[in-house]
Amino acid sequence: MMDITLLILILMVFTAAVAALWLGGWRLIVSGLKQGGYTVRLVWLRLLLGITLGGLVQVLIPAELIVEWMGPASGPSGILIGSCLGVIMAGGPYVQVPIIASIYKSGAGVGPIIALLAAGNALSLQLLFTWHLPFFGSRLNAARYIACAVALPIIGLVGSVVFSVLSVS
């Protein structure tokens, strides 16, 4: 049985291919396939290593420990732990997403996972030092960090409630 996200992705690719055919013929489709091939060549090893690292995290960190620290019953402390992990986790989506998915599969609660994802996007130290400070300076980043640090626990709590409501429907 095909999951809905795969079906949506297939429909999006099909729609883009039809649009490319209509706008530029087969030449545009071949150009798009070449661009996709270049991207695959660029990311395939990172993706493979990230997925492998996610699997290793899942077997190296005992599920009981994840449930204790970030499980559904961990409450605000689990959300705080998820937030802190998101801030320090480096490696981009190829590394982060498989690791976070393995933590979730090992029993982490929804609130801590949502806080981890939000923190990784909003407060990543890797992004701060590499991109944000050089381009935006310290005052803007300090204001952003403080605002996001205050918002993260709220995001984790609200996300957990929304997930519960969506699960009932």
- Per-residue pLDDT tens over the stretch 30-81: 999 999 999 999 888 888 988 898 889 889 999 999 999 999 999 999 999 9
Task: Choose one of 35, 60, 85: the last residue of a domain.
Answer: 60
Mean pLDDT estimate for the chain: 93
**Would you say the C-alpha torsion 125, 127, 132, 135 has a positive or negative sign?**
positive
* Residue 54 sits in the same domain as residue 108: no
* Residue 140 sits in the same domain as residue 154: yes
* Residue 73 sits in the same domain as residue 156: yes
Q: How many domains does the chain have?
A: 2
pLDDT at 1 over 80: no
pLDDT recorded at residue 35: 96
Intra-chain end-to-end CA distance of the chain, in Å: 22
Query: What is the spatial distance between Cα 42 and Cα 62, in angstroms, rounded to a whole number?
Result: 33
* Residue 77 sits in the same domain as residue 139: yes
CB count, 10 Å around CB of 72? Answer: 14
Q: Which residues contact 112 (CB under 8 A, 6 or more apart)?
A: 70, 71, 74, 78, 79, 81, 82, 156
* Residue 128 sits in the same domain as residue 163: yes
**For 87-133, what is each residue's pLDDT tens digit?**
999 878 888 898 999 999 999 999 999 999 999 999 999 889 988 99
Question: Does the predicted model carry a pTM greater than 0.85?
Answer: no
pLDDT at 8 over 80: yes
Query: What is the spatial distance between Cα 67 and Cα 20, in angstroms, rounded to a whole number?
Result: 48
Domain that includes residue 150, residue range: 62-169
| Alpha-helical runs (H) found in 61-74 | 63-70
Q: Fill in the DSSP letter of residue 123.
A: S
* Residue 24 sits in the same domain as residue 74: no
3-class secondary-structure state, position 103: helix
